[in-house]
Structure 1
């Protein structure tokens, strides 16, 4: 059977502007600007190199805009009136770009007074009518109206910037409506770039909701009369004519004349001769060398087959995935601009608007994003195309001479439209910090990509070529770019002689700050395409990326603590530790510093003569918790006292003392910092202060939680997943008896006790509970024996019995370890990978540690993914229910903590429980229900 033709239509105009802003200015041997030409040529080369034989194309053409006018200007004279003229040095490159296209022996189609989008639409529909499949190489939202299938012929899109396919599902995810309704949504929301009016004040979400609810634009506008009085109703009625005009403007023409026949677009091998001549003429020597070498010439192979656009990814080397160095020019800090006038800042903002992608970084006076001052902002639009905008330089001395810099308020006002523009992607590294700094300065930022999160979603746990497995910018620059960044210490020094960043001379500050934005831009270009090819798109786009602004907002909310209560607890803990010290000294028969491991080791194993002491490389006896627990179990009274002393001392220093110091003087609240890359399995971690290690089940832990309180008239609501890891284990290991128990709401530990010991009492239920959780962490016979206080052989018999009663658990463990040994990583139900490079280590301790972690990682990671999905969905759901004033404050393991008026508890509880219980869906359908326990009170402790 003959191959179905597959036509690729390249939106060449989008390529041109991307290419122009991607590279610094370049000239050819004749002095003609060719930066955009070179960028366009490399992008076209890459496209040709990336297209898959099995997926086509059989035919290909590049479509360009020939003029700036079309029939739309006759309908609406303000159409595209806001667009600035093309940059002066880009104009002479337009004809050269057409020459570049023809050098590839590709049709280059353009028609006067016809927009490229209309030409693309006309060719796409004609090809579809003839039974061809069509792929539009573009990310233009207007073209998404064409996506779909007719009589078996399919039109989809290929976004080369994101290395992703766009079909009906992706369009519906973006707009909330099918492709044929996208024009209705666009008509309501308008488009500031093309100056399409839409309806004033109606944004994308409202537009999508209206069209989804009413089925179309006319119906949505007609429904306005029957709406309750509101701003939305007024606007729908007042601006109806604008919406109807906009619908005409966004409608693509599908009946344009076709100057080149479809058959003439047949794609054959790229002849090297015209391409070589073009490359040589314009001095593109690196591309010419690749062409002459033969193995670098454009081919037709790729991994962008739609059927595998978001697969789990091919097996990869767990020992490292250092990418080939990208084809970027070396970092040249001398090219960076220090922006000191409003005119230059506006020029950069205008370029960023046109580029549609800008890397952003902030410089501040400290690492505390809730108290620091904003010192400056850096932007990058390409390699070596970066700037620094100083805003707070000159030192703290009021008499110090301050350098020339833009007024902070004026600069932020100029940048705010860019940073809030939904059509321009802002790329950060650890963007949560920058979002908080900018939010405190009154600037909202959206949409956001984050190279730190992308790196984590690709390489969590990996050991990478000896450079380290972290996700900091400096490490990633070394690993992926072969570049060593300037360090903060180099500029500001250390110790007493250290200076704040605001006192760094502007030339040095520009090199440092603009480099951060430049490197972020480069990392994005290097890492983002890997998400699609390595199966990371799903976890990044559906779990982690949307979480960044949610967590940033939680950090800004903070939580109130009762300083007086904390002070009383500190006094009580100090008295208790003093009492325990006296008792420890009495048992030891001598006074010593209890907190000194060296002195304690001497007391335990020399003075008191306990057996089993082991010295480390330092020559000191080990006195860690496991040693003390062993001695306590063997009947050493001093060991139990020391363990109690350590816990109290740690809680005093870590919480009751530290929390008082952590109260923000401006807000009166404590603002913890969450890391999205701190835990290998994907769990959030908390620092400054750490609120996730407060003991849960002890009386002391409860007392500390009592100090976290609600504002007057409000309560705290704690919503906690009930035994979520056991529920997930029942699903993932497919254990019928456990699934049945959860479905019927049984006590799972009692059920396990019956299966294991034949009866339920306090002792057997307690043992069953320990076993249930321990097995999921891959515990050894010795580990379980230690927890239950039995011999290793008896513990092994319990493990054997457990696997006999629940064989699915044992199969899950075996299967998981086999997969990790083969692939190098485990995977959650949502596709999150965790790498285990030491799973095959010859060192038994390393190997067994990796095996234990690998058994639990898919379960704990899936649990983390689920609560993250709940967090992302929570505020939109509360807002929809009229509860937008409810604040989400904390995430601690499987628990979310909210602050809200007491009168809203019932309504909010229903929404919170519904969102958390359904957080896995529709991506994952679980065989067990997710139970959610909710409690409220004036304090966190009272809410449990």
Structure 2
């Protein structure tokens, strides 16, 4: 037992769940380098603990402290009202494995860690607060949760840990319009959509506060409800009196909650340095480890390095020394490097340019590396003066002419017997191609890392250098600055540019020598050589070609959208009873849930109502016009700002086309991503969204052709899960969704109700992504129990799918990864975590081989396509998930469709012989909308 708790004692009760979610949403994602485990929320949690418990001083320093957590189980409130908290979504997938780690962190800090099965954290906090107050001590509840505000007063205050602001009776009154002793009454009336507390329909916080102020307390209000003059409000209170009383029982905190740990045992204890530092080191929190070690007067342990492959061990290399690099300024020296490249048979290289936009950037230099410590920089585009290379800027003296440098390097860069090694080679490939050099063959360290480590960390050179070489590269901002004063690389002094550029080449060479032997050791050498590296010239050429956009069409659309928005704004203002900023979630929430008193308001930690699309869609489904119009306005506003207004700014003035950029090493499953601009996310489910594609046009005398795989992921599922019914349906060309509905619901395919087919379609596609009963119920707008029944029936009719899921999860747990049909390894960090933590990793593991195989198939088709259509008046322009878009002369449309379809439908072979046919739908038109 600890010392008695009484007068002079100060108890800190930290709302652990609030800390976790604050940390998760406030910080960018972070994974542990050694195994890819998500730890961002744990890092934020530890920093917050350190600040609010270990570093606080003065009158606010605690004598006693505890972190209180919610236990993942039902509570007595579910017995009062079985729908309590039924609407709460599942926590994010990458947050689940972090929950148990936050408990471990709390214990490592030597702070009491408390959670009780069957009771919520708020009730435990209430019980401790009440007993501490009765004993004569002070209490600070470290949280801004509105539900805890009923405890404020008489020695109990709250502290918002983010704003570092005390919350007392005045702040509670400002929030609820009543004092802490009447907060429960107001909450009972207003309800809580987040926790599914029903309350009184149509009564919000402000109205509830006015009623309680007028009648004194909730019971008096309900007993005298007949005195209320407003008829609708009077009838609501009379009709829902019992529901309101139940709501009060749901929001009332229980000060009699049993406490497993006595108050006296919560005394603040200094952390054990060895235990705390061991935990922080295991989490790989370098900065916090060092800070804590310094404060505790202990030596910080070394953070363990990322695990290495069992590939052949590389020889120990000397540390990178940037002081010995050569700057090449004469042709004789350059020729010496060219001769050395021929003798070596390989060279690492990097280009330095004026911009990240590889269609507008200008080359200013090239760096080369032949061995560790042997690298150079060849400057030729550095200038002084203006930042305009073609204006008043003057070339810096002592550089070789670019034309002569490229002419000297061209033979080795285009020599098929000499390997060119780079990092993110597609960028360099395009820069050189724009200058007349078609570089081949190439090796890309970014893609090697992606093939080996997809899903465990990023693949940028700086991170790879630090992770695998233990070397920190010169930051680019040290040379070019940032913000308004930023310059381009051509304006950097050559003596500063040379070490930076040559370092890039040497780091790339060292990374290549590290990764190359790992590819066969990790069984991804075929994936790298057949699915990753060959994409470089294919995508490079597509991006350089670009797609023609009719800016006049976009301008007319922008005008039409502006008129539509103005019309909607008038309707919205009329429905709202006055004008307001429609784009302000805060103002919209106040109108919907305070002024109009609509049910379903969800208030966040800041007190503002959520007006997310889900919330507005639910309100619109209930027949409310205002949220429906706001959804329409938002959709039109996004189309206008993101596409019709923005796309013209991406038109390259030199080509008159839009040139998107594809990321090969983006999604973990191998799917490509499109950026600057993103042409893969143009919406096609609405008429307005489909209209955007009308602006993507073919030049005169040409047509756009779209070829799209039909239901490719379902076909792959039928193959990998070996589902006879689905395979037979695909072979016979039967409507797969109608067939599924027939199998599940026992109805004939002919004359099937479209709603039944729609439900089967939602399940067919949903099961690939591990959809839950909750998710399906939202998609179909049906009760969750009914949705879960559909899923259960689905697995009963297709038991092979359940077997596939179980088999895949077992493989993931054993190997820490899953593989596609073509050998792509997709890592599954977190799959072996205990309890619900593995749920997200489990769903990802089930989906990854299917989505990954689909991505592999279209990659294989794209890689074969240039040779297949060579000589035809056609060019491949775009890839959008399962679709390829071509530009072709009018007289060659049908031959192009036949040739491209043949390539796409046979893309899996000979590596994989699918037991179901791949089918490609084709269309053509003057614009993309007509073609698809």
Measured against the shorter chain, the TM-score band is 0.5 to 0.7
Per the alignment, residue 476 of structure 2 pairs with 488
Deviation at 1:904, TM superposition (A): 1.0
Deviation at 1:586, TM superposition (A): 2.6
Per the alignment, residue 866 of structure 2 pairs with 875
Are residue 321 (structure 1) and residue 315 (structure 2) matched? no
Deviation at 1:865, TM superposition (A): 0.2
What SS does structure 2 have at the residue aligned with 1:766?
Answer: helix
Are residue 773 (structure 1) and residue 762 (structure 2) matched? no
What SS does structure 1 have at the residue aligned with 2:806?
Answer: helix
Note the 1:823-902 alignment, pairs <5 A: 823-841=815-833, 844=836, 847-879=838-870, 882-883=871-872, 885-902=873-890
1:388 is aligned, of 373, 377, 396, to 377
Q: Is the 8 A contact 1:375 1:501 kept in 2?
A: yes
Note the 1:735-814 alignment, pairs <5 A: 735-757=723-745, 758-759=747-748, 760-814=752-806
Q: Is the 8 A contact 1:563 1:660 kept in 2?
A: yes
Per the alignment, residue 175 of structure 1 pairs with none
Q: Label 1:608 to 1:850 Cα distance change in 2 as closer, same or farther (>3 A).
A: farther
What SS does structure 2 have at the residue aligned with 1:941?
Answer: helix
Distance in 1 (alpha carbons) for counterparts of 2:868 and 2:528: 21
Per the alignment, residue 815 of structure 1 pairs with 807
Q: Label 1:353 to 1:609 Cα distance change in 2 as closer, same or farther (>3 A).
A: farther
Give a deviation string over 1:272-315, Cα, whole Å, max 9, x none.
Answer: xxxxxxxxxxxxxxxxxxxxxxxxxxxxxxxxxxxxxxxxxxxx
Deviation at 1:785, TM superposition (A): 1.0
Deviation at 1:625, TM superposition (A): 2.4
Give a deviation string over 1:782-840, Cα, whole Å, max 9, x none.
Answer: 11111111111111111111111111111112222222233222211111122221334
Note the 1:302-313 alignment, pairs <5 A: none
Distance in 1 (alpha carbons) for counterparts of 2:542 and 2:363: 20
What SS does structure 2 have at the residue aligned with 1:923?
Answer: coil
Q: Label 1:618 to 1:519 Cα distance change in 2 as closer, same or farther (>3 A).
A: farther
Deviation at 1:399, TM superposition (A): 6.0
Distance in 2 (alpha carbons) for counterparts of 1:833 and 1:648: 40
Deviation at 1:322, TM superposition (A): 5.0
Deviation at 1:748, TM superposition (A): 0.8
Per the alignment, residue 700 of structure 2 pairs with 712
Deviation at 1:618, TM superposition (A): 4.6
Q: Label 1:841 to 1:633 Cα distance change in 2 as closer, same or farther (>3 A).
A: farther
What SS does structure 2 have at the residue aligned with 1:942?
Answer: helix
Farther off after superposition, 862-871 or 511-520: 511-520
Distance in 1 (alpha carbons) for counterparts of 2:718 and 2:864: 25
Deviation at 1:779, TM superposition (A): 0.4
Distance in 1 (alpha carbons) for counterparts of 2:906 and 2:316: 45
Distance in 2 (alpha carbons) for counterparts of 1:700 and 1:658: 16
Deviation at 1:841, TM superposition (A): 4.4
Are residue 410 (structure 1) and residue 404 (structure 2) matched? yes
Q: Label 1:564 to 1:401 Cα distance change in 2 as closer, same or farther (>3 A).
A: closer
What SS does structure 2 have at the residue aligned with 1:375?
Answer: strand
Q: Label 1:636 to 1:851 Cα distance change in 2 as closer, same or farther (>3 A).
A: farther
Per the alignment, residue 101 of structure 1 pairs with none
What SS does structure 1 have at the residue aligned with 2:334?
Answer: helix
TM-score normalised to the size of structure 2? 0.64
Per the alignment, residue 471 of structure 1 pairs with 459
Per the alignment, residue 361 of structure 1 pairs with 350
Q: Is the 8 A contact 1:319 1:837 kept in 2?
A: no
Note the 1:294-693 alignment, pairs <5 A: 321-322=307-308, 327-395=316-384, 396=389, 398=392, 400=394, 402-462=396-456, 469-693=457-681
Q: Label 1:683 to 1:754 Cα distance change in 2 as closer, same or farther (>3 A).
A: same
Distance in 2 (alpha carbons) for counterparts of 1:577 and 1:533: 58
Structure 2: stretches of 5+ with no match in the other structure? 1-303
Q: Is the 8 A contact 1:672 1:688 kept in 2?
A: yes
What SS does structure 1 have at the residue aligned with 2:830?
Answer: coil
Deviation at 1:320, TM superposition (A): 5.5
Deviation at 1:404, TM superposition (A): 1.1
Deviation at 1:715, TM superposition (A): 0.6
Distance in 1 (alpha carbons) for counterparts of 2:670 and 2:365: 32
Distance in 2 (alpha carbons) for counterparts of 1:320 and 1:783: 37
After superposition, the CA RMSD in angstroms is 1.9
Deviation at 1:878, TM superposition (A): 1.6
Distance in 1 (alpha carbons) for counterparts of 2:378 and 2:366: 5
Q: Label 1:385 to 1:875 Cα distance change in 2 as closer, same or farther (>3 A).
A: same
Distance in 1 (alpha carbons) for counterparts of 2:818 and 2:567: 48
Distance in 1 (alpha carbons) for counterparts of 2:393 and 2:352: 23
Distance in 2 (alpha carbons) for counterparts of 1:456 and 1:418: 27
Deviation at 1:682, TM superposition (A): 0.6
Farther off after superposition, 420-429 or 602-611: 602-611
Number of aligned residues: 617
TM-score normalised to the size of structure 1? 0.64
Farther off after superposition, 603-612 or 374-383: 603-612
Per the alignment, residue 906 of structure 2 pairs with 918
Note the 1:133-152 alignment, pairs <5 A: none
Distance in 1 (alpha carbons) for counterparts of 2:545 and 2:568: 39
Per the alignment, residue 7 of structure 2 pairs with none
Distance in 1 (alpha carbons) for counterparts of 2:562 and 2:869: 43
Q: Label 1:399 to 1:588 Cα distance change in 2 as closer, same or farther (>3 A).
A: closer
What SS does structure 1 have at the residue aligned with 2:831?
Answer: coil
Structure 1: stretches of 5+ with no match in the other structure? 1-317, 463-468
Deviation at 1:606, TM superposition (A): 2.9
Distance in 1 (alpha carbons) for counterparts of 2:413 and 2:305: 38
Q: Label 1:828 to 1:647 Cα distance change in 2 as closer, same or farther (>3 A).
A: same
Per the alignment, residue 146 of structure 1 pairs with none
Distance in 1 (alpha carbons) for counterparts of 2:599 and 2:525: 55
Are residue 734 (structure 1) and residue 722 (structure 2) matched? yes
Deviation at 1:775, TM superposition (A): 1.0
What SS does structure 2 have at the residue aligned with 1:369?
Answer: coil
Distance in 1 (alpha carbons) for counterparts of 2:518 and 2:314: 14
Q: Is the 8 A contact 2:348 2:370 kept in 1?
A: yes
